[in-house]
Amino acid sequence: MFKNDSNQIRAGWLIFLAFFAMFITQQIFAIPGGVLLAIADFPFQDGNYDMDFQAAFDRHPWIFLLTQGGGTVGGMLSTVLLWRFVNKGTLKELGFRGSLKDLGFGLLLGAVSIAIIFFVLLASGNVALLNSFTKPEFTVYSLSFLVLFILVGFFEEMFFRGYVMSTLERRGNPKWLVYVASAVVFSLAHGTNPNVSVLGLINIALVGVLFAYMFDATKSLWLPIGYHITWNYFQGNVFGFAVSGTTPHGIYNVSVEEGNAWLTGGAFGLEGGLLATLLIILGFFATRVYVRMKAK
């Protein structure tokens, strides 16, 4: 049950252990931010103990970064330690190898993908721009969320692609299972996000397959890390859409109330819309062209 025919611990158990350890470590590393938030904003006034944590975090972006970023760093640390001491692997074997040109292409592809979705929605009247292109509203969120999404891009690719896929591959699982398992686990991990939708989870699973393909095609985490960072940042902090249900703080502000939710994704963000589905699929072709050009 726990070991395969080669007397090795099965990949599923290793992934379960890593997921559990990652979750616990994230909670521990998030504690300092939670304590600081309680000191700064806990509403004991008038005997009111009903606190809207999201609203409180929105008032304190650096505390939010300390909490979420701290949890993300904890997840990265647990992933590296388990990979090193349980899986007996190196950082290079986890996926930190190859050319940093992959990172640059990933950053470009993620940003362009979100920009295309935004301009299609704007041109079709499905979103309304609330401030002028010539008057972007840079705030503290522009920097704090850049740091956060960089950390998220590294952590989630390290775990869901680097750890999960490499663990499955080492146990001789077929490639289709490696792709599907990493994508499904990735999607399920977002299942408790605010305003979650079925299409949103399907698209997250689909982009998980795209990340898996990027990792497999380049034998490196750099391309999916780059795409992941700018996909999130341009969605939430440039064009002002929710990111997987979380509150947007864009330099541009948009309204999706009059738009078609099947295209805009509604309150969940662009990942809950069909245009995201299309651009994710196009991402496979863009990656294939890039890998072929790189090989030449």
The token duo for 155 is 């952590």
Q: Which domain holds residue 189?
A: 92-295
Is residue 221 one of the residues assigned to a domain? yes
| pLDDT tens per residue, range 193-232 | 888 889 999 999 999 999 999 999 999 999 999 999 999 9
| pLDDT tens per residue, range 151-207 | 999 999 999 999 999 999 998 899 999 999 999 999 999 988 888 889 999 999 999
Is residue 26 one of the residues assigned to a domain? no
Is residue 39 one of the residues assigned to a domain? no
Is residue 248 one of the residues assigned to a domain? yes
Give the mean pLDDT of 90-112: 96
Q: What is the structure's pLDDT at 51? A: 59
Q: What is the structure's pLDDT at 194? A: 82
Secondary structure string (H, E, C) spanning the chain: CCECCCCCECHHHHHHHHHHHHHHHHHHHHHHHHHHHHHHHCCCHHHCCCCCHHHHHHHCHHHHHHHHHHHHHHHHHHHHHHHHHCCCCCHHHHCCCCCCHHHHHHHHHHHHHHHHHHHHHHHCCCCEECCCCCCCCCCHHHHHHHHHHHHHHHHHHHHHHHHHHHHHHHCCCCHHHHHHHHHHHHHHHCCCCCCCCHHHHHHHHHHHHHHHHHHHHHCCCHHHHHHHHHHHHHHHHHCCCCECCECCCCCCCEECCCCCHHHHCHHHCHHHCHHHHHHHHHHHHHHHHHHHHHHC
Is residue 84 one of the residues assigned to a domain? no
Is residue 31 one of the residues assigned to a domain? no
Pairwise CA distance, residues 158 & 173, whole Å: 19
Q: What is the structure's pLDDT at 195? A: 83
pTM summary value: 0.93
Please tell me the total count of domains within the chain: 1
Is residue 178 one of the residues assigned to a domain? yes
Across all residues in the chain, what is the average pLDDT?
91
Q: What is the structure's pLDDT at 198? A: 93
Q: What is the structure's pLDDT at 6? A: 64
Is residue 246 one of the residues assigned to a domain? yes
| pLDDT tens per residue, range 106-143 | 999 999 999 999 999 999 999 999 998 889 999 999 99
1, pLDDT greater than 70: no
Q: What is the structure's pLDDT at 46? A: 46
Q: 25 pLDDT band (50/70/90 cuts)?
A: very high
| pLDDT tens per residue, range 42-65 | 654 444 555 567 777 878 889 999
Count of beta carbons in the 10 Å neighbourhood of residue 205: 19
245, pLDDT greater than 80: no
Q: What is the structure's pLDDT at 45? A: 45
Half-sphere exposure of 100 (CA within 13 A, CB side): 0
